Structure 1
């Protein structure tokens, strides 16, 4: 690569070791977000296949939602992306916040 050229990333490795390309990411119209699909999008952003802005535009996500997926993976790995895990974490934080207020 010559000086000044920007390398385009065309493939990243997902959290389960799978190779991800733009063609292998969830469809643009995805509305049902299971843990594996969320993980693929997060891996694409972390690996540089998509920017956070591109991911949000492509999947009609808020930046807060995408960041929450990243935090869930950081905190609990892939199981953290499951809806039940998110509900458990939300309840745990609500209880902690109630204790701080009381």
Structure 2
């Protein structure tokens, strides 16, 4: 079955998340997030890279510094999602 034209126009913007599924604003970690597990960090990076959020709004939304966000991107680029593990940071430096 095909989606109608109006259904396509009303669809929420999304990006492909780190697990390969569609990720919308509603699927992002809560604004009150204090415990940053690998999946949540990767979702924020995917949202910024995919244009769902811009860097400034992501940093404001999650009370992050641009440097902290950039470290998440570098970790993903260099080591994949496992690079985001807090317990492995020392091994990768």
Q: TM-score range by the shorter chain?
A: 0.7 to 0.9
Match for residue 74 of structure 1 among 62, 77, 82: 77
2-structure distance, mates of 1:36, 1:63: 19
SS of residue paired to 2:68: helix
Match for residue 29 of structure 2 among 2, 26, 29: 26
The equivalent of 2:59 in structure 1 is: 56
Normalised TM-score (structure 1)? 0.77
Shift of 1:14: 1.0
Q: Which runs of 5+ in 2 are unaligned?
A: 1-11
Q: CA RMSD in A?
A: 1.1
Normalised TM-score (structure 2)? 0.84
Q: Which runs of 5+ in 1 are unaligned?
A: 1-8, 91-102
The equivalent of 2:87 in structure 1 is: 84
- Which ranges of 4 or more aligned residues in structure 1 deviate by more than 6 Å? none
Number of aligned residue pairs: give it. Answer: 82
SS of residue paired to 1:48: coil
